Amino acid sequence: MTTHSIDGFDPGPLRNLARWKRAEYAFWLLPVAAYFALGEQLSLLSQIAITALFALSLDLVLGYAGIVSLGHAAFFGIGAYAAGLMAANGWNDPLAGLLGAALIAAAAGFITSFLVLRGSDLTRLMVTLGVALMLFELANKLTRITGGVDGLQGIEMKPLLGMFSFDLYGKTAYIYSVVVLFVLFWIARRIVHSPFGLSLRGIRLNVQRMPALGAPVNARLVGAYTLGAAYAGIAGALLTQTTQFVSIDVLSFSRSAELLLILVLGGTGSLYGALIGTIVFMTAHHLLSGINPQYWQFWLGMLLVLVVLFARDGVMGGLRALGKRLPGAVK
């Protein structure tokens, strides 16, 4: 079969789909450049990297698997508290913390996926929202464990790999966050280009066709949801470890809503959309709240309305349209 070739047919475009493109290499030089150019803003930059990872996790769930979630912060929060509680109880190794948070969040994602996947879009919205709110209430009431509204304090981390301690300037925190983001991005990129990723696209594009191809749709979605939850958990854990604090905010509704905005702003289903959306959003947040912190939310709302009405494909959609005109650009 492999030697059999068809006249005038080149399978190249599909074979090479997963190859890294030049624009992608260029993109990943950004965090390196930012480290040198914006040395005083490292804590903001770490926040961006962490939020980007969180947005990436939602992109896996929403952009690829097509599962609408209004409560993705649930897994971010679980990861954040898991890492915080581990550290507060003497498990201070950062990487072990990430792993623990990922496993716990993945378990939560796996279990709740069965609730979420039962219904239509609307039911999914409400179930994900309901689950997240229940967790928020839980964290709010279990003051002895979570610190309630005061947050979880007294988190101390061991040096990373036993060598790099978390310094006051946030250098270690930034490099740590970016490296974790990059590694997880690289893994996610492999996954979305694999047959599993292709089947997720298939489910999103035409869910009724998939069983007719012999694909167990629910099993695939459970896998994607669990993966997304694990990613979100790692993002939460990173936030805890780099800020050494867990606020109950990690579970809040507005965190889930903001995340949706970030992803839609960047463009769903392209991985890079999640990253670019985060950069645009966080930068805008930083600048606008510098001018007028109280009314940031107004501009945020306005942006949401405008994006939905006029720019549904987000930044990536715009770039793609641009790329069609400029050969060799981002695809």
Partner 1 sequence: MTVVFDGIASGLLLFLISVGLSVTLGLMNFVNLAHGSFAMLGGYVCVVLLNRHGVPFLAALPIVTAASALAGVVLERTLYRRLYGASHLDQVLFSIGLVFMSISIAHFFFGAQQQPLQLPPMLSGQFNLPGVDVGVYRLFLIVVGVTIAVALQWMIAGTRFGAELRASVDNPRTARGLGIDVERVFVLTFALGSGLAGLGGALGVEMLGLDPEFPVKYIVYFLIVVAVGGSGNIKGSLYASLIIGICDVAGKYYIPQVGAFVIYAVMVVTLIFRPQGLFGRSAAK
Partner 2 sequence: MTHALQTSRLVKRFGGFVATSDVTLNVAAGARHALIGPNGAGKTTLINLLTGFLEPTEGTVILKGDDVTRLSQHQRVKRGLARTFQINRLFADMTVLESVTLAVCERRGIGARWWNPVGSHVEAIDEAAALLQQLRLIDVAHHLTKSLAYGRQRLIEIALALAAKPSVLLLDEPAAGVPTSESRELFETIAQLPREVTILLIEHDMDLVFRFADRISVLVGGALVAEDTPDMIARDKRVKEVYLGEALHG
Chain contacts with partner 1 (rule: CB under 8 A)? 62, 68, 70, 115, 118-123, 125-127, 129-131, 133-134, 137-138, 140-141, 253-254, 257, 260-261, 264, 294-295, 297-298, 300-305, 307-309, 312
Binder among 100, 109, 223, 314 for partner 2 (CB under 8 A): 223
Write down the least CB distance from residue 100 to partner 1, Å: 26
Q: Measured from the CB atom, is 6 or 163 closer to partner 2?
A: 6
16 contacts partner 2 (rule: CB under 8 A): yes
The 3-class secondary structure across 134-182, one letter per residue, is HHHHHHHHCHHHHCHHHCECCCCCCCECCCECCCCCCHHHHHHHHHHHH
* Pairwise CA distance, residues 59 & 36, whole Å: 29
Q: Measured from the CB atom, is 178 or 262 closer to partner 1?
A: 262
Contact 277, 62 (CB under 8 A): no
Q: Measured from the CB atom, is 6 or 168 closer to partner 2?
A: 6
Q: Measured from the CB atom, is 14 or 291 closer to partner 2?
A: 14
Q: Which two tokens stand for residue 99?
A: 């792993």
Residue with tokens 């463009």: 267
* Pairwise CA distance, residues 22 & 329, whole Å: 8
Write down the least CB distance from residue 212 to partner 2, Å: 6
2 contacts partner 2 (rule: CB under 8 A): yes
Write down the least CB distance from residue 321 to partner 1, Å: 19
18 contacts partner 2 (rule: CB under 8 A): yes
Binder among 21, 22, 209, 324 for partner 2 (CB under 8 A): 209
| Radius of gyration over every alpha carbon of the chain, rounded to an integer in angstroms | 20
Cα distances (angstroms) measured from residue 283 to each of 11, 83, 95, 186, 279: 41, 27, 28, 24, 6
Which of the choices partner 1, partner 2, none does residue 16 contact, using the CB cut-off of 5 to 8 A by kind? partner 2
In DSSP notation, 254-314 reads HHHHHHHHHHHHH-SSSSHHHHHHHHHHHHHHHHHHHH-GGGHHHHHHHHHHHHHHH-TTH
Q: Measured from the CB atom, is 100 or 197 closer to partner 2?
A: 197
Q: Which residues bind partner 2 (CB under 8 A)?
A: 1-2, 4, 6, 8-9, 11, 13-18, 190-191, 193-199, 201-202, 205-206, 208-217, 219-220, 223
